[in-house]
Structure 1
Amino acid sequence: MPTRTIPRRALVLTVAVLTALPTVALAAPAQAASAPPAASAAAAAPVRFVDLPDAALPTDRAPHRITFMYRNDTRTDQTIAPQILVESPENGPFLSPSDIRLEQLGSDGHWRTLWLGSQTGTLYTALIPAKTVLHSHHTLTERYRITVLHSSARGTVEPRIAIYA
């Protein structure tokens, strides 16, 4: 019987979206209760991702800044969500959320620690809280700080943008 392998990124995306869907359905306004749950849940899923340049996970224990930009070159506003993936090496050992600290620079100038999910060796930030509307021909600039807490941690930092319909 032939076997297929599912790319780790696709699996992480699927798990992240499916995990967020029940939360979206429970938080829906009361007037939307008459709509079928599948219709409202499907609207919450990203339609595609834009991968941004990746980098090796720093191996020292110093904080390292990650800055990336995404420009909406379309004629319409886009609902987007920035996301950081930290991929483990293909042959392990797999990273754990306790191996790194990921912080985001807020609009108030303070760093806030982000929660990291973990699935099949990939750490990821949540999409739903990061959703924002990016106006036509505007640029989103995101600033993060990553610190490796265990010197044995290895991997790749992969920022991306989720695009919603």
Structure 2
Amino acid sequence: MPTRTIPRRVLVLTAAALAVLPTAALTAPAQAASAPPAATAATAVTTGRAAAAPVRFVDLPDSALPTDRSPQRITFQYRNDTPGDQTVAPQVLLESPDRGPYLSAADFRLEQLGTDGRWHTVPLASQTGTLYTALPPAKIVLHSGHTLTEGYRLTALHGPARGTVEPRIAIYP
């Protein structure tokens, strides 16, 4: 059987190309919401360079999962109290109880209120008992002293569920 030699230059260029890919592209798939989040005094930005990972998360007040099949409104705010602009992205976590049962994405519908005033479905991913929204590729630049307001609607499709809704804000460098 003949063997094939891969030129060293091709290997080096391939390794360099893979090193430039953002970490998020190699892990869970990122899906953007249908519309940019509603923001007060914020600007959505995208960059052509590789996406950086968040440097920290700010946990916002949590609440219980819906106890019936009616939509539960979830509104949260984050204020940039730093002296400079911050690049941020909102994220919603649905946390299972410590002893289970684990939550399933098929049991919930999460919608985000878009800037157009309509509700847009947001996909949920799952990892070790936690459902979560992907961090959007279009992050938001939140100016000093301004507030980001996010509106969501969560519906338990199959009756009451146990667990918590934990919104948070990803802070980027």
Scaled to the shorter chain, the TM-score interval is 0.7 to 0.9
Structure 1: 5+ residue runs without aligned partners? Answer: 1-16, 33-39
Higher helix share: 1
* CA distances 1:90-130 after superposition (whole Å, capped 9, x unpaired): 11110010111000000000000001010000000011335
* CA distances 1:56-112 after superposition (whole Å, capped 9, x unpaired): 101100001000000001111110000000001111110010111000000000000
Percent identical pairs in the alignment equals: 70
Q: Would you say the 8 A contact 1:21–1:44 is kept in 2?
A: no
Larger CA Rg, structure 1 vs 2: 2
TM-score by length of 1: 0.75
- Aligned partner letter, 1:99: D
Residues of 2 paired with 1:86 and 1:130: CA distance? 22
2:128 is aligned with 1:120 = yes
Residues of 2 paired with 1:131 and 1:155: CA distance? 28
- Give every structure 1 segment of 4 or more consecutive aligned residues whose post-TM-superposition deviation is greater than 4 Å: none
Structure 2 counterpart SS, 1:46: coil
Residues of 2 paired with 1:151 and 1:89: CA distance? 16
Structure 2: 5+ residue runs without aligned partners? Answer: 1-21, 31-46
TM-score by length of 2: 0.72
- Aligned partner letter, 2:145: H
Relative to 1, partners in 2 of residues 1:119 and 1:152: Cα closer, same or farther, differing over 3 Å?
same
- Aligned partner letter, 2:89: A
Q: Would you say the 8 A contact 2:95–2:163 is kept in 1?
A: yes
Please report the RMSD computed on the Cα atoms of aligned residues, expressed in angstroms. 2.0
Residues of 2 paired with 1:164 and 1:140: CA distance? 15
The equivalent position to 1:158 in structure 2, one of 147, 166, 170, is: 166
